[in-house]
């Protein structure tokens, strides 16, 4: 029998733990405020941003919204981020991606102070992750580690294969699995014999952005399969990068889409926000 990894339930558990922790930290005089910056009004981004603000309200931290016009100049956005860096009342800064094509995303990410980089996208955060220093973790990969740990799945010593090498998921995922003492392989679109590589995996993490790409032919019997993909199929139903019905019987545990990895990203963003409180000096 394959275990269904319930991301919705685990993310709720984390939010409830954080809510209680925030209550205690506030008693010590600590506070957190997340600045959420959205440029333009892409409907998908608006949904994500609203969910992030709701999550802040749920765990008891403040959020501030900055809704900027689509045609804002790059320099103006940089100036806003610099103001937020300098604002002692703001502990975390999140600039929702993607940004409009005329804005250099990389410049914006680098402008956010690494001390307020709750997305974990700044090169300093990435560097800290790779050398094992404390810092903000990229939220989706950090959420996947929580899914595995809280489902009783051991990472240490396991063959872990990550399919996909994006800066947001694949690369930080590899770093985190390595930190947990997994043996890590990163496969990607140029991998010569992808099936041969994925069939080695005790833990297979799929983030390739191709609808139902991974079928049972890619799976070692009894593997744990984590699906980061999110697509709409021909019938307008949500599905992942993994062909769930085909793959599930061959796994020991698997995440569904929706309700697997998705809900974990915001839970871990909240954890990064609470981290800004944990590290604050106690006020007398």
Catalytic residue among 30, 52, 116, 171: 52
For residue 242, the minimal CB distance to ligand GUN (Å) is 20
For residue 119, the minimal CB distance to ligand GUN (Å) is 5
Q: Which is nearer to ligand GUN, 136 or 218 (CB)?
A: 136
Interface with ligand GUN (CB under 6 A)? 94-97, 119, 139, 265
3-state SS record for the chain: CCEECCHHHHHHHHHHHHHHHHHHHHHCCCCCEEEEEEECCCHHHHHHHHHHHHHHHHHCCEEEEEEECCCCCHHHHHHHHHHHHHCCCCCEEEECCCCCCCCCHHHHHHHCCHHHCCCCCCHHHHHHHHHCCCCCCCHHHHHHHHHHHHCCCCCCCCEEEEECCCCCCHHHHHHHHHHCCCEEEEECCCCCCHHHHHCCCCEEEECCCCCCCECHHHCCCCEEEEECCCEECCCCCEECCECHHHHHHHEEEECCCCCCCHHHHHHHHHHHHHHHHHCCCCCC
For residue 181, the minimal CB distance to ligand GUN (Å) is 26
For residue 44, the minimal CB distance to ligand GUN (Å) is 8
Catalytic residue among 30, 116, 117, 119: 119
Is the distance from CB of 263 to CB of 11 less than 8 angstroms? yes
Is the distance from CB of 162 to CB of 187 less than 8 angstroms? yes
**Residue 52 annotated in active site:** yes
For residue 24, the minimal CB distance to ligand GUN (Å) is 27
Q: Which is nearer to ligand GUN, 34 or 204 (CB)?
A: 34
Q: Which is nearer to ligand GUN, 58 or 154 (CB)?
A: 58
**Residue 193 annotated in active site:** no
Q: Which is nearer to ligand GUN, 95 or 228 (CB)?
A: 95
Catalytic residue among 30, 38, 96, 271: 96
Alpha-carbon gap, residue 263 to 48, rounded angstroms: 11
At 111, list the tokens: 């402008």
Q: Which is nearer to ligand GUN, 85 or 183 (CB)?
A: 85
**Residue 3 annotated in active site:** no
Q: Which is nearer to ligand GUN, 119 or 275 (CB)?
A: 119
For residue 148, the minimal CB distance to ligand GUN (Å) is 19
Catalytic residues: 52, 96, 119
């Amino acid at each position: 029998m394959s275990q269904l990894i319930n991301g919705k339930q685990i993310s709720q558990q984390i939010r409830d733990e954080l809510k209680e922790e925030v209550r205690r930290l506030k008693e010590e005089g600590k506070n957190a405020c997340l600045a959420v910056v959205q440029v333009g009004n892409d409907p998908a981004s608006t949904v994500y941003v609203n969910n992030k603000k709701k999550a802040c309200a749920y765990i008891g931290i403040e959020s501030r919204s900055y809704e900027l016009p689509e045609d804002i100049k790059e320099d103006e956005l940089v100036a806003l981020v610099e103001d937020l860096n300098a604002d002692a009342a703001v502990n975390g800064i999140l600039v929702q991606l993607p940004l409009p094509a005329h804005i250099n995303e990389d410049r914006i990410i680098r402008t956010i102070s690494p001390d307020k980089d709750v997305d974990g996208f700044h090169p300093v955060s990435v560097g800290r992750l790779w050398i094992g220093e404390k810092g903000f973790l990229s939220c989706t990969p950090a959420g996947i580690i929580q899914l595995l740990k809280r489902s009783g799945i051991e990472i240490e010593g396991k063959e872990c294969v990550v399919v996909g090498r994006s800066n947001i998921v694949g690369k930080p995922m590899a770093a985190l699995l390595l930190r947990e003492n997994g043996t890590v392989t990163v496969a990607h679109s140029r991998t010569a014999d992808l099936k041969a590589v994925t069939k080695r995996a005790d833990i297979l993490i799929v983030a390739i952005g191709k609808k139902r790409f991974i079928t049972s032919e890619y799976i070692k019997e009894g593997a744990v399969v984590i699906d980061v993909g999110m697509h709409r199929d021909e019938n307008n139903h949500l599905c992942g990068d993994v062909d769930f019905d085909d793959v599930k019987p061959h796994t020991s545990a698997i995440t569904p889409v929706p309700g697997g990895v998705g809900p974990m990203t915001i839970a871990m963003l909240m954890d990064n926000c609470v981290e800004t409180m944990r590290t604050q000096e106690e006020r007398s």
